[in-house]
Amino acid sequence: MTQAASTATTSHADASGGAPREPWYKVLYIQVLIAIVLGVAVGYLYPEFGKSLKWLGDAFVALIKMMIAPIIFCTIVHGIASIGDLKKVGRVGLKALIYFEVVSTLALLIGIVVGEVIQPGAGFHADPSKLDASKVAGYAQKAAADSTVAHIMALIPKSFFDAFATGDLLQVLLISILTGVVVTGMGQKAEGIAHAIDMAGQVFFRIIGLIVKLAPIGAFGAMAFTIGEYGIQKVVDLAWLVGTFYVTSALFVIVVLGSIARVAGFSIFRFLAYIKDELLIVLGTSSSETVLPHMMTKMRRLGASDSVVGLVIPTGYSFNLDGTNIYMTLATLFLAQAVGADLSVGQYATIILVAMLTSKGASGVTGAGFITLAATLAAIPNNPVPVAAMTLVLGIDKFMSECRAITNLIGNGVACVVVSRWEGELDTAKLNQVMAHPVSIGTDISDHSPEPMETDRVHDGTGPGTKAAAAE
């Protein structure tokens, strides 16, 4: 009788053209969305209690971050070793960096153009001498230590394992690339090492699959704290700047990234629907690092090759920060207008150049964008905008950090598909299939860890990518 019921259920699923639909309350993005709404309500109605829930969001982010470094290491090392051709590794890396710089520069320029046209800080008439600089002293001190030499030295960890202990993405990237290059150079003698690293990566992905189930709790705690600590009134007070930034970021995603996506052969709107789970988690936690493993998995399922995913996504978290770039130039102009400073062409050029450098350190961590903003202000010739002016946006930075992280995430996903297509390693049949019927991976990514790389990957829809899609 049980067997018959099982057969009937299976037949019903097959007749409907797929697996049985998951109950709505078990879908990750719905759980996170409900948690965000509840968090806002709790923070607004019971602000003190909301503040006390901060640890829930911090704990979730900490759980995710503890797995980021080993996942990046295993993915990059295995990806480079699987390619087996260091020239190809260099070619993919160069294409990614070229793309990152072009699109990031566009984001910086868009922030300046919008700031000049909208003039969000005009009429603010803030007196720099009356601003409390102590509130941003910590950010200013960190920004003061930010320089070209400091950036270069920051790439080098104190030891091989120190990078994993601190979780510095740039240091982990350096160690991962060096290890991957050495393992590749050892040839067949290192096959066992490459296999062991691949197996370790799959273990880490399974751990992440368990942790992500806690995303609704983390989002609830983080949102309750944000509203309880800063209050919705803070957003209302500076709604013009917040609204300008959100609209600018949305237009950047739809127009700029949308145009790039169309050239690459997919719709940006379908892509957003495909990664809706990740977007809501980032909205709740204000950190794009919380979904890094998810994004790598989803990019593979979308048809991007393992080698490109393993290099582009982790690197993009440090070098392709479109949302942070828009924020830095737009916020800089807002503060300049607020204190009545007129910027020259040379000062505009300095803002762009400095922002291009300082943004490379903002790797998706909450508050990193605020530190880079301080560094940018401090580097403008003649200091027309005092760092103390940042107190004007201190209260609402948390609300804008969510938009920064979401825009960064979308930009990295688009970059991965574009570079994969540029390299000729995009399974277009799989891309079209997934875009036509985007399916959420839910809370379990344990079965979607990196598949063994096949260097003779086929791209006509009959290769391994199609088999994977059929299996899903």
Task: Write the DSSP string, 3-59.
Answer: HHHHHHHHHHHHHTTSSPPPPGGG-HHHHHHHHHHHHHHHHHH-HHHHHHTHHHHHH
pLDDT in tens, 260-275: 999 998 999 999 999 9
Q: How many domains does the chain have?
A: 1
| Average pLDDT estimate for 266-288 | 89
Top pLDDT among 292 and 238 is at: 292
Let me know if residue 7 belongs to a domain. Answer: no
Residue 37 within any structural domain of the chain: yes
Q: Is residue 453 pLDDT above 70, yes or no?
A: no
Mean pLDDT of 66-76: 84
In a domain, 391, yes or no: yes
Residue range 350-374, pLDDT digits in tens: 888 878 776 665 554 445 566 677 7
**Band of residue 9 on the pLDDT scale cut at 50, 70, 90:** very low
Is the per-residue pLDDT at 15 higher than 60? Answer: no
Most confident of 12-21, 321-330, 346-355: 321-330
Three-state SS string over 272-331 comes to HHHCHHHHHHHHHHCCHHHHHHHHHHHHHHCCECHHHHHHHHHHHHHHCCHHHHHHHHHH
What pLDDT score was predicted for residue 1?
44
Highest mean pLDDT: which range of 136-145, 247-256, 361-370: 247-256
pLDDT at 374: 75
**Is residue 1 in a domain?**
no
| The pLDDT of residue 417 is above 90 | yes
Tens of pLDDT along 214-250?
888 988 988 888 788 877 766 666 778 888 999 999 9
Higher pLDDT, 125 or 258: 258
Q: Is residue 16 part of a domain?
A: no
Quickly count: other Cβ atoms within 10 Å of residue 28's Cβ: 23
Question: What is the C-alpha separation between 120 and 97, in angstroms, rounded?
Answer: 32
Identify the top-confidence range among 50-64, 149-163, 256-270, 453-467: 256-270
Percent of the chain with pLDDT over 90: 16
Q: Give me the chain's average pLDDT, please.
A: 78
Exposed, middle or buried by CB within 10 Å (0-12, 13-18, 19+), for 420? buried
pLDDT number for residue 468: 33
When mean pLDDT is compared across 13-22, 35-44, 119-128, 165-174, the lowest value belongs to 13-22
Q: Is 259 helix (H, G, I), strand (E, B) or coil?
A: helix
DSSP secondary structure letter of residue 190: G
75 neighbors 296 (Cβ within 8 angstroms):
yes
Residue 192: pLDDT over 80: yes
Asked if the model's pLDDT at residue 26 lies above 60, the reply is yes
Asked if residue 118 has pLDDT above 50, the reply is yes
Low-confidence winner among 65-79, 88-102, 116-130, 210-224 (lowest mean pLDDT): 116-130
Query: Nearest-CA neighbor of 217 among 64, 21, 401, 69?
Result: 64
| 338 within a domain of the structure (yes/no) | yes
Q: What is the pLDDT of residue 63?
A: 86
Mean pLDDT of 96-121: 90
Q: Please determine, for residue 418, whether its predicted confidence score (pLDDT) is greater than 50.
A: yes
Please give the full DSSP string across 411-461, using - where no structure is assigned: HHHHHHHHHHHHTT-B-HHHHHHHHHS----TT--TT-SPPPP-TT---SS
Beta bridge partners of 389: none
- Where residue 98 falls among pLDDT bands split at 50, 70, 90? very high
CATH classification at residue 249 = 1.10.3860.10
> Given pLDDT bands bounded at 50, 70 and 90, which one contains residue 444?
very low
**Rounded CA gap, 339 and 128, in Å?**
7
Decide if 8 is inside a domain.
no
Three-state DSSP class for residue 222: helix
Residues 6+ apart with CB under 8 A from 285: 57, 60, 61, 215, 218, 219, 222, 366
Q: Which of 129-143, 259-273, 277-291 has the lowest mean pLDDT?
A: 129-143
Please give the C-alpha separations between residue 242 and each of 224, 397, 401, in angstroms, as whole numbers.
19, 9, 10
Residues contacting 31, CB < 8 A, separation 6+: 25, 215, 216
Residue 101 DSSP class? H
Q: Report the C-alpha dihedral over residues 124, 128, 132, 137, rounded to 10 degrees.
A: 110
Radius of gyration of the chain (CA): 23
Q: pTM for the whole thing? A: 0.73
135 versus 292: the higher-pLDDT residue is 292
Which pLDDT score is estimated for 310? 83
418: in domain: yes
pLDDT(446) > 60? no
- The answer to whether residues 238 and 331 touch, using CB atoms and an 8 Å cutoff, is no
Domain that holds residue 147: 23-471
